[in-house]
Structures are given as C-alpha cells and as structure tokens.
Amino acid sequence: MLEIVKYPSKILRTRSTRVTDIKSAEVQSFIAELKETMLAADGLGLAANQVNKDWQILTVSHKDGPKVFINPVICWKSFKKNNMEEGCLSFPQVFGLVRRSKKAWVIYRDENARLRFIKADGLLARVLQHEIDHIRGVLFTDKIFKYTKGEKQVQEWIKQAKDDER
C-alpha cells in the first residue's frame, strides 16, 4: 500500500507528467497499488501525485470497482453547475462547498493503454473533475467558496508553507 501525502507537500502543486509506457511492469504495479490504496482509505478517488508519484494517473470509485484513468483530459463540461461538499484524502478533516459542472466528458487511456471516452454526470463527474485538477496541481481548497470544516487548519498549513519557502 502507498502512503498518501498531505498538504502542504509540494508535489500536490506539481503538474504531473504524461505516461507513455502504460504496459510497463512499473506502471502496472503502481496502478494496482493506487487502486488498493484508494480502497483502503475509503476514498472516492486518488491521483498519483497524492501518493508522491509525478504521473497523470488517477483512479475513481465506480460501481464495477476502481476505474483507472491515464493521461485524462476533460474535453467538455456542462454549463450547468452545482454546489456540493468535497473533502480530500490529502486534507484530513477539511471539507467545503465547491461549485463544479454537473457533467464532464473525459478522454483517457485505460490500464491496457486503450483510448477511451466517458460521459460522466453526478458524483462521477465531480470526482473526475476533482482528481484531474490534482494532476494539474490544482487543489480543491483553491475552489472552496465556503468551508464546512477545517478552515483554520488550512490557514495554518498555508502559513507554514509560506514560512518554509522563506
């Protein structure tokens, strides 16, 4: 099982690199560990940089089990949005309201390197947007318009990160 990094780890702000050798033993082993880690943490999604790996790989909870998205790109988002509470495994005990598109279409490679396309809506669309933000170095705390829990902790982490940069 992999260790989930916590904010303010710098890798969470890093734009991840594309994966070209999807069928390699290293990537396949990592995918299996990423899925196992997400399930053990009871998460809805997990991106590679959340376990300290600079790759564009993420996994999301799906009715058929963990689904893997490699080099995912959102090619369309609905104009209609909704507000929902979100949390993140890299921000323990932090929750807030985030506005996201209700639907998202994503092009990606699966774990067998096949090009895929998914039209997601509801919770799946939200989780995909959240996790794709991760591999772009964007955090859900950047998008929170109202904290429901943990705002003081985030402010302390931000202050700590700024102090560490000095």
* Buried b / exposed e along 92-111 (16+ C-beta atoms within 10 A): eebbbebebbebbbbebbeb
Number of residues assigned to the chain: 166
Could you please report the per-residue DSSP string of 11-33? Answer: GGGSPPBPPS-TTSHHHHHHHHH
- C-alpha 118/C-alpha 53 separation (Å) is 25
12: left (phi over 0), alpha (psi -120 to 50) or beta: alpha
Please say if 33 is a catalytic residue.
no
Could you give the CA distance from residue 129 to residue 108 in angstroms, rounded to a whole number? 13
Q: List the catalytic residue out of 33, 36, 111, 131.
A: 131
Nearest to 13 by CA among 69, 90, 87: 90
Catalytic residues: 131
